[in-house]
Structure 1
Amino acid sequence: MRKLGLPEVVRACLFDMDGVLTKTAEVHDKAWKETFDEFLRRREGPGFRPFDAVADYDEYVDGRPRADGVRAFLASRGIDLPEGDDDSPPELDTVHGLGNRKNALLLEKIRTEGVEAYPGSVRYVEAVRAAGLSTAVVSSSANAHDVLTSAGLQALFDVRIDGVVAAERRLPGKPHPDTFLAAAHDLGVEPGAAAVFEDALAGMDAGRSGHFGYVVGVNRAGQADALREHGADIVVGDLVELLEAGM
């Protein structure tokens, strides 16, 4: 392994955004909880069981495209809503309506609170680029451009495959590997020559099923064992640990 903590075969690095590069996982979590709790309170009354900001978030929505997250969580509660349309208004109780409600809350939080990058991740991406490796962001978020811009990271990546690009190309989201495969293709490398960096279990599944050269699990939520079980070759608490391990 070189000083980046990666096998020599790796020529490109594919980074998830929320929770790996930026401290937005918590913002997403809050927006999901507000959205689902308000919906459940109206549907089931004051005795409703709230959205669990850790267990439900990790299991059903983290790393998934927005509508998939809505479907997965509602199915866990035995709730089946109409799909609605991509542009369903946020006040409409459909899959896309709830997703759009969550997105409106998220964008408001980004505007009012801003977005912070993990310093260790920035240092690692800069080291990767200095070593001549290509870089991509692979995110389920349709707001990746706004988040990267707010965090000052947009210049660090050669390719961005996000929720907008996935919709345009009709790519299924994580846990399917298609968005990561598209990033590798756009960078001109085979999957076996690319490393995936993820903090979500759905992202681990995508890295494993896509047969990528190396899969790095970033343990931001105390789920190191689960990350390994879902396909991580190595688990770190912060990407800077890879630089320190490679020295």
Structure 2
Amino acid sequence: MKPGPAAGHGASRHGIAPVLRRVRAVVFDTDGVIIDSAGIHAVAWKRAFDACLRERASGSAARPFDPDDDYRTYVDGKSRFDGALAFLDSRGLGRPQGEPGDPPGTGSVWAVAAAKDAKFDEWLREHRVEAWPGTVQLLHALRLEQVSCAAVSASRHARDLLSMSGVAELFHVIVDGNDAARLRLPGKPDPALFLEAARRLGTPPCATAVAEDAVSGTEAARRGGFAVVIGVERSARGAATARLERHGADMVVGDLSELLTPAGPAAGPRTAGPRAVEPG
């Protein structure tokens, strides 16, 4: 399913699946769950990391950044700094941390993070980003059921992206990378971002569900004691399903429209077995 415009999906025809009737609120990850922006982040990271690899790495460590596997493993769901640090460490490129104000470059972890941000800003000036139709449908159905919704992201771009895609008004609360920096919240797999969203919604984690497409996010939600952790598998081959389950997802869906009734497939969401979260 391709993302499309946020409006006009006729969500009022649908109810919500029983699993969501058990909760008072749902917290949604932004990139890859609400809007189709995860791939854009991955490309921006690739350009920043590949420049660093060309300058600083040799041998097998110099192989280009993989926007699928490397992105999911090292940076998906994390803050810019944490993602940059994790990937550079994986290639043995111990860079000085630098400072948050470092200009884009390769000399420090913050410089590489700034280079990624510059590439992402460049893309946004020339393109538009769209919301996943199934997510928009679910958001409308949740509103009709008086289930509160929050959007969470480690990215400082999240509010702009949500506004650009026309879905910002569907959320009671938005917690983004700017909030995380101001409040000094640790990134995923720490549950701090999700817990802050639940606090602002006024619902305890035990009455709140989380929808996430990153393993760092499903692990964070499990650590936070959230009632239901829904993994969202966007890859065509279903390559991340097992990892999402291992890292805390109670169920994995290919699209959040599967949590609508009667629109979801007859088989319903794929349900994980016993919870077994691997160490971070």
- 1:151 maps to 165
Matches within 5 A, 1:1-247: 3-44=16-57, 48-91=62-105, 93-221=107-235, 222=238, 223-243=240-260, 244-245=263-264
Give deviations 1:176-209, integer Å, cap 9, x for gaps.
0011001001100110000000000000110110
SS of the equivalent of 1:145 reads helix
Shift of the 74–168 alpha-carbon distance from structure 1 to 2, 3 Å rule, reads same
Shift of the 130–7 alpha-carbon distance from structure 1 to 2, 3 Å rule, reads closer
Kindly indicate whether the alpha-carbon contact (under 8 Å) linking 1:21 and 1:118 is maintained by their aligned counterparts in 2: yes
| TM-score for both structures, normalised by structure 1 | 0.95
| TM-score for both structures, normalised by structure 2 | 0.84
Aligned-pair Cα RMSD in Å: 1.7
Find the aligned partners of 2:155 and 2:202 in 1 and give their Cα distance: 23
Q: Which is helix-richer, 1 or 2?
A: 1
Structure 1 segments of 4+ aligned residues over 2 angstroms from their partners? 2-9, 44-48, 244-247
- 2:276 maps to none
Find the aligned partners of 1:97 and 1:128 in 2 and give their Cα distance: 41
Shift of the 111–193 alpha-carbon distance from structure 1 to 2, 3 Å rule, reads same
Gaps of 5+ in 1: none
Q: What letter is aligned with 2:162?
A: L
Find the aligned partners of 1:211 and 1:91 in 2 and give their Cα distance: 39
Find the aligned partners of 1:117 and 1:187 in 2 and give their Cα distance: 22
Q: What letter is aligned with 1:60?
A: Y
Shift of the 3–246 alpha-carbon distance from structure 1 to 2, 3 Å rule, reads farther
In the TM superposition, residue 91 of structure 1 has moved relative to its aligned partner by 2.6
In the TM superposition, residue 54 of structure 1 has moved relative to its aligned partner by 1.3
Find the aligned partners of 1:219 and 1:67 in 2 and give their Cα distance: 25
In the TM superposition, residue 7 of structure 1 has moved relative to its aligned partner by 4.3
Find the aligned partners of 1:7 and 1:110 in 2 and give their Cα distance: 34
Give deviations 1:74-105, integer Å, cap 9, x for gaps.
11111111111111111352111110110111
Higher relative contact order (CA 8 A, sep 6+): 1
Q: Equivalent pairs: percent with the same residue?
A: 46
Alignment length, in residue pairs?
246
